[in-house]
Chains A and B, each alone.
Chain A
């Protein structure tokens, strides 16, 4: 059975429909990437899994049980954590306190502060620094470490590479194998297609709120991905 099953999910922002009948699944232990252009609905999809955006149709099941309108904090308690777009580090808390708040619910598991510091030595050096005084890469690393402190079964990563230098992106993604090794399932939203393909077992492409392509990184051709990404038909003309 899949850890996460999404069945004909619709989501709206007010009158604007952002997602149309999304159906996908993520199996336990898998790493799945969602790619797509700006505004395709990738972040909305992650937010609706985390409970930040209410679903207006369809169903999300986690470990077989429908999530319904369960509150965000209650989803963290069953093992769904989101690393939000823009990192959202708490500026008035120190790096160490940011990690501690990540473990607010004391979910048992492998990830503890020493373990996070071991996996991300960068954070250990910064532990007493205020969260408001970190570089973008440091913030992103902390955001991931903070989410891991909740010992999630499913970790949702939203636009990890956004605004970071390529070398920093590589450093951040270097953590992915470590995270997977400890049994966490990953659902990654990423604009950087190469990074998304490299990190994942399977890929979905979103186009204007719908899934336009699904496959494994090795089975999909560049052309297929480009078409699905930009919404080009086989003839190279935008569909009407």
Chain B
């Protein structure tokens, strides 16, 4: 029964990983941008939630009402100021620019918040759960997190398949120059893509902060998990991202069940196994340009 529990918790954790991975997947899918500051941006959002909750005496989850639109705007501006200059050129520039951004965020957080671990206090929601039986309980927060992940991916799928802007996203992903010939403003597409990516990763960061502690240097590990989820699921496939997140979550928690130190290890091994046997991932379709 403990194994069943590990799988259930792993699936729920996978929803969070999928939320982290969604933004990376969008950035890579639409403009082949690999944002190494992705994890740090999520932690930045968690710290902002921490400060807002403190300053306004509100629940950090309520602060999302302010954080999500804010992240959307920050993503838009970040694309215009930084990422636009490194899209469509030698990938080395992307690495330097986004890695630099990552260092700037980490050190800014360190200067403002010190290296202490923080957590977001969200009240009873953090500990209440659905009692299934003596061995299995489903926490409300992990369940809500998972549902958030599914809802975000569902909304994105609708956006991509049913709207003109979504169609422009897919066309730009296929061939940015041909998309411009259709009248698509690729800079606008890129800016909206980054805005969405940042909003999703901010949501992920706040939900992460609600379930576990974080410090200014938590970002890079989150980035690695997000990468693994994207690669396992397959680049460019939204539902693949969810499948990848769930696979990684289940692998980690089964590993942890074997031995507490094995959680990350088993996750990495599964990731490497997928990379070795199926480099395009479970549902991959985007190829390098």
Give the interface of A toward B (CB within 8 A): 50, 52, 71-74, 76-77, 81-82, 84, 88, 90-93, 97, 100-102, 104-105, 107, 146-147, 150
Contact = CB atoms under 8 A, between A and B. Distances in A.
Contacts of A147: 181
A101 B181 contact: no
Contact of B184 (A52, A81, A97, A104): A104
21 contacts: A52-B181, A71-B180, A71-B185, A73-B182, A73-B184, A74-B185, A76-B181, A76-B183, A88-B178, A90-B170, A90-B178, A90-B179, A91-B174, A92-B173, A92-B174, A93-B171, A93-B174, A101-B167, A101-B184, A104-B167, A104-B184
B175 interface: yes
Which of A52, A91, A104, A105 neighbours the largest number of chain B CB atoms within 10 Å of its CB? A104
A57 to B, nearest CB: 23
B182 A52 contact: no
B285 interface: yes
B181 A93 contact: no
Nearest to A89: B178
A102 B174 contact: no
A150 B167 contact: no
A52 B174 contact: no
Interface of B: 164, 167-168, 170-171, 173-175, 177-186, 285
Contact of A101 (B177, B179, B285): B179
A93 B170 contact: yes
Contact of B174 (A71, A76, A90): A90
B183 A104 contact: yes
Contacts of B186: 73
Contact of A104 (B174, B175, B182): B182
Contacts of A73: 180, 182-186
Contacts of A50: 181
Contacts of B171: 90, 93, 101
Q: Which of B173, B181, B285 has the most CB of A within 10 A?
A: B181
Contacts, number: 68
Given A93-B171, A93-B174, A150 B182 contact: yes
Given A88-B181, A97-B170, A104-B182, 8 more contacts: A73-B185, A81-B181, A84-B177, A90-B175, A92-B174, A101-B184, A104-B167, A105-B183
A192 B181 CA distance: 24
Contact of A88 (B164, B168, B175): B175
Contacts of B183: 73, 76-77, 104-105, 107, 150
4 closest A-B pairs (Cβ-Cβ)? A76-B183, A88-B178, A105-B183, A72-B180
Contacts of A88: 175, 177-178, 181
A84 B178 contact: yes
B178 A76 contact: no
Given A88-B177, A91-B174, A92-B174, A102 B182 contact: yes
A100 B185 contact: no
Nearest to A88: B178
A184 B179 CA distance: 21
A92 B178 contact: no
B285 A92 contact: yes
B180 A101 contact: no
In the complex, which of the residues A72, A76, A100 has the most CB atoms of chain B within 10 Å of its own CB atom? A72
A101 B167 CA distance: 7
A69 to B, nearest CB: 14
Contacts of A97: 167, 170
A84 B174 contact: no
A147 B177 CA distance: 14
B181 A92 contact: no
A187 to B, nearest CB: 15
A100 B174 CA distance: 15
B283 to A, nearest CB: 13
Nearest to A91: B174
Nearest to B188: A73
Interface centre among A73, A91, A107, A146 (most CB of B within 10 A): A73
A73 B180 CA distance: 5
A107 B178 CA distance: 18
B177 A52 contact: yes
Contact of A72 (B167, B174, B181, B285): B181
Contacts of A91: 174
A71 B188 CA distance: 12
A93 B167 contact: yes
Nearest to A143: B178
Contacts of B168: 101, 104
Contacts of B175: 88, 90
